[in-house]
Amino acid sequence: MAASKDNIMTMLFIQSRLMIIVVLCMAVAGCPGRHTSSGNPSWTQLYPLSTKELAEQEYAIGFEFMLENRYDNAIRHFEEAVRLDSAQLKSYWALATIYTELNDNEKALSLYKQLCNSNPSNPQIYVALGAYYAQIEDYNAAVNTYKKGLTIDSTDLDLLNGLALMHACLRNFEQSLVIFGKVLAHDSTNVIALRNAGRINYVRHQPEKALQYYKRLLINPLGVSSIVVSEYADVLIALRCYEEALMIYDSLLVFEPENVNLLIISGLTLQKQKQYTEAVKRFEIANQFEPENTQPLLYIAEIDLEQGNLINAKGRLDRVVDIDPDNTKAHMMLGDLYFNWAKAAEGEWYQNRVKENCSTLFKALDNLMQAIQYYQKARNEENLRKYSNNQIERCQAIKRALEEDKWFYCK
């Protein structure tokens, strides 16, 4: 299973800033198209537009450019709309959205604050500003923004969902679930609340509770997507319902045969069922589609190690390190590999210690040195540090004993 799946940011199910502005602007403006020229006099030539109407026209043209991601042109038209009509909030909003997409945080924040100051009673502005803070990962500021919006409308579901999501990102899971509960009390089929309440329970290792939310979610046609169905299968795996989960992954792969994430997850499911041959096939296909993705290679190496195919495992792990020299998981596995080889050589040496025939002793010492080097690299990652340090101590203890033998037997 991809490591990123458990990252709490997978719960950030807020629409992008661009989609927020698209929906709102479509509702407000009706999305008029660009004017086209013909041989006849245009309507605007016969009946000159007022300043406000010209601003609307500039906004409409800018809006189309924004949909095409032609942001320079869009900015020019939105700025002209604001120049013509300084009270036209939607152009400010569109500009803030674009600057957020362009990672120009200073300009985006300035525009959002102008919107809040000019129209403080509009809760949707606080939804957008909160989403902006979420995008730049200032979760505390997002929480405060959503709370301020809720003082205007305490039942606004966008604000409540946003607040719950930010508490989840801050790992305040209990508070997050309470707020999602409020959303579901108002709207029992709310897709955002159901999905994220389920995801939080999954992350908290409470798959039984997660399953209830996903079942409710999948009843709603709006809640059904390949991502949600895949998450549902993850919950089934946590409940050890491997066959049912695998059926779901296989059904998704019919429609998305090149989905690397699905190939990896289904491969892991097969691996849990000890269907190693089929699991390796899935991982190899995933690696063909994404040769630089180290995860499939690591999983195949795990199977090789489990089946005692140490040479094959080393070859795959060497490939991982070639692709990603800082891959701590590969370093740890290579450390274990060399440690096991050292232990085997050590055992062989002690079974038949003979002067002037010290090849197995030297082999054990070489493998211990290799193992120590890999463990030293692996301990750069916090969750591997304790294990790696313990293994280094074991290696050094064995090494000291062997070096005493080396002094006595192998002068």
Token couple for 166: 């930010």
- Give which of 216, 222, 211 is closest to 245, Cα–Cα: 211
Per-residue pLDDT, 41: 54
Per-residue pLDDT, 410: 79
Per-residue pLDDT, 254: 92
The DSSP secondary structure of 20-77, one letter per residue, reads HHHHHHHHHH---------SSPPHHHHSPPPHHHHHHHHHHHHHHHHHTT-HHHHHHH
Q: Which conformational region is residue 373 in: left (phi greater than 0), alpha (psi within -120 to 50 degrees), or beta?
A: alpha
Sequence-distant (6+) residues with CB within 8 A of 34 are 60, 61, 64
Per-residue pLDDT, 356: 57
- Cα separation, 82 vs 59, in Å, equals 9
Length of the chain as a residue count:
411
Give the predicted TM-score (pTM) of the model: 0.65
CB atoms within 10 A of CB 236: 22
Per-residue pLDDT, 12: 44
Per-residue pLDDT, 121: 87
- Cα separation, 283 vs 127, in Å, equals 41
Per-residue pLDDT, 40: 56
Q: How far is CA 380 from CA 328, 387, 389, in A?
A: 7, 11, 11
CB contact at 8 A, 303 and 271: yes
CB contact at 8 A, 159 and 146: yes
Return the residue matching tokens 């010209």. 54
- Cα separation, 203 vs 362, in Å, equals 47
- Cα separation, 362 vs 314, in Å, equals 20
- pLDDT tens-digit profile, the chain (411 residues): 343 434 444 444 433 344 444 434 444 444 444 444 445 555 455 556 788 888 888 999 999 998 888 999 999 999 999 888 877 778 888 888 898 888 888 888 888 888 888 788 888 888 888 888 888 889 999 999 999 999 999 999 999 999 999 999 999 999 999 999 999 999 999 999 999 999 999 999 999 999 999 999 988 877 778 888 889 999 999 999 999 999 999 998 998 999 999 999 999 999 999 999 999 999 999 999 999 999 999 999 999 998 989 999 999 999 999 999 999 999 999 999 999 999 999 988 888 776 657 888 899 999 999 999 999 999 888 888 899 999 999 999 999 999 888 888 776
